[in-house]
Structures are given as C-alpha cells and as structure tokens.
C-alpha cells in the first residue's frame, strides 16, 4: 500500500519538502494543498526544473478533499503560515494520521499549544517540529560533549527577529541544556517590524531566561546583526559559535530522512516532538506578552 504524503502549504518550504521526499525508494502518493492557486500552479514548474515526476502528485485547493485523504497511512507536512494553524492541526489530528511534521511556530499562543499537546496525546498522533539544528552534526557533537556537565550557560545574538529566528535559538538552548523549566525574567522590545511574509510581524529586542538551577540565558536580536553568534559553556566545555561558518543542510536535504523514519517506524529521533518543543514556544509567547505584542501575527 502506498503511503500518502500530504503537504499543506506550497510556498518555498512546501516545495523543498516535496523535493526531498519524492526520491524515497518506497511507493508514495502526494497530495499538495494550498488556498492560493498561483502557489499550486508553481509546483508544476518546480517539478519540471528539478526533474521531479508529477505522476503521483495531486494538486488541490479543496480543503475538504485534503482532510478526507488523511488516514493512518498518511504523513502530513504542514508548511503553511502560522495564522490559523491551530484550528487546522485540530482537524488533522482527529483524522489520526501516521505522523505530522510541522514548521514552527506550531501555533500562536501558549494556550493553543497546550490544547494541541492534549489532543495529540489523546489521539496518539506523533507531531514533530522542523527545528533542523537537531540534524546538524556539529550541534549533535556539542550536545554529546555536555553529557554530565553542570551549570550550562547559553548566550546568543542573531539577526532577523526574535520570532522567526529566535524560536530556533530558544529551542536549541532548551535542547542542548536539557532544560526542564524556563522563565522569562526580563524582556525588552527595541522595534517591531514587518516580516518578509505579508501580514506578519517580528521583533528586535532582548530577553533573559532563567532555566533549571538558576542559570540565566540571554538572547538578543538587533537589526545590525549579520549572523548568529552563540556562546555555550559549562564546567567542562566552552564553545563560541559563528553560525555563518557552519555548513547547514537545507530542508531539501533532510526531510527525506525524517519522513523515512516516520513511514518505517512512526517516529524519529532526528527532530523534537510537540512535547519537547513546548518550552521554546512558551519562551517566545511569554516574551510577546511581556512586551505587549501578544496579539501580533508571527510565523
């Protein structure tokens, strides 16, 4: 029986997921959905340019059709923007797919996130977040080097905003430090700005987060920053990282590995799941609330 790969949102990210997954050596059936017919139409040219056969690809703007095709034999990839994603996820989870792979942020409030974790557990649907730094060999080696360490500290300065890039850095911190609790103890908003996606915002500013044991981690995003600079230290190791020097894999190079796991085992250790990513989302949402931007659309 063919596994259904259902991709919701056919912008650049959705297309890159398709590019990676279509080469898996297993029988697959693709359903690609977007409300925007122009985005769907662009898939045809993308397939032609990247030598992708569209023989098993169905393109649709019909929401009901895409939901009806979700079953226990389907892996669902959510690459749409965050607005309305919580309601969409509720529908999908109730269809009980084999697994879900979603872009970040999963939703736009802590309350939405907590409701989704309850529903995912209730329906036994595994959900993974596309925090790709988990698949960087460099960061996996760092994580291993911190095994048994105490008092791990984390500092980061990075461009492009506390929402779009910041949530990735928050999640990197919680993963590397094995954080069990995180409290935003100081927040500052330098400026809000419109992100590249129309109708969405991001923020320049800073925050301090107190994690297990009382250590304080700091995060700064400024317009002048050109690349992410991250400092991680413990009683045993210290790293100063310029991310521009790291060879980072693209989505089109890693989605196939994740989806292969999901098809074969229904789970993966290559990305964090909805429960492991909770603190990273909460840090972002708490920051937004503290600076009076809790109603901003972020993606």
Contacts 24+ apart (CB under 8 A), 133-137: 133/168, 133/171, 133/172, 133/175, 134/175, 134/270, 134/271, 134/272, 135/249, 135/254, 135/257, 135/270, 135/271, 136/246, 136/248, 136/249
299: confidence class by pLDDT, cuts 50, 70, 90 = confident
Q: What is the pLDDT of residue 24?
A: 95
Rounded Cα–Cα distance for residues 267 and 260 (Å): 9
Q: What is the pLDDT of residue 4?
A: 98
* Residues 230 and 200 grouped into a single domain: yes
* Residues 162 and 206 grouped into a single domain: yes
- Tell me the angle at which helices 137-145 and 166-176 cross, rounded to the nearest 10 degrees: 40
* Residues 201 and 107 grouped into a single domain: no
Structural domain of 17: 3-132+250-272
296 within some domain: no
- Burial (CB count <10 Å: 0-12, 13-18, 19+), residue 251: buried
Tell me: pLDDT of 213 over 80.
no
* Residues 139 and 206 grouped into a single domain: yes
Tell me: pLDDT of 211 over 90.
yes
List the CATH number of the domain containing 77. 3.40.50.720
* Residues 170 and 24 grouped into a single domain: no
84 within some domain: yes
295 within some domain: no
* Residues 240 and 148 grouped into a single domain: yes
* Residues 73 and 155 grouped into a single domain: no
Number of domains in the chain: 2
List the CATH number of the domain containing 194. 3.30.360.10
- At 155-167, the pLDDT tens digits run 999 999 999 999 9
297 within some domain: no
* Residues 126 and 138 grouped into a single domain: no
């Amino acid at each position: 029986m063919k596994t259904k790969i259902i991709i919701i949102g056919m912008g650049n990210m959705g297309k890159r997921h398709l590019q990676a997954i279509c080469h898996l050596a297993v029988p697959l059936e693709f359903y690609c959905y977007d409300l925007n017919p122009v985005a769907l139409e662009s898939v045809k040219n993308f397939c032609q340019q990247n030598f992708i056969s569209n023989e098993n690809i169905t393109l649709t703007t019909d929401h009901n059709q895409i939901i009806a095709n979700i079953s226990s034999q389907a892996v669902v990839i959510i690459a749409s923007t965050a607005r309305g994603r919580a309601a969409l996820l509720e529908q999908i989870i109730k269809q009980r797919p084999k697994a879900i792979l979603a872009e970040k942020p999963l939703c736009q409030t802590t309350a939405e996130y907590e409701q989704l974790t309850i529903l995912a557990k209730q329906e036994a649907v595994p959900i993974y977040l596309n925090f790709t730094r988990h698949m960087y060999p460099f960061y996996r080696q760092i994580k291993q080097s911190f095994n048994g360490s105490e008092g791990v500290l984390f500092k980061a300065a990075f461009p492009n905003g506390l929402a779009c890039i910041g949530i990735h850095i928050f999640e990197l911190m919680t993963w590397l430090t094995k954080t069990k609790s995180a409290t935003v103890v100081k927040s500052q908003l330098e400026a809000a700005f419109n992100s590249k996606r129309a109708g969405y915002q991001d923020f320049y500013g800073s925050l301090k987060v107190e994690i297990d044991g009382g250590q304080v981690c700091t995060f700064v995003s400024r317009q002048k920053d050109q690349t992410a600079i991250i400092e991680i230290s413990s009683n045993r190791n210290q790293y100063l990282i310029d991310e521009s020097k790291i060879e980072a894999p693209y989505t089109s190079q890693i989605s196939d590995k994740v989806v292969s796991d999901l098809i074969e085992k229904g789970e993966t250790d290559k990305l964090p799941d909805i429960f492991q990513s909770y603190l990273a989302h909460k840090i972002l949402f708490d920051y937004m609330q503290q600076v009076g931007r809790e109603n901003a659309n972020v993606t």
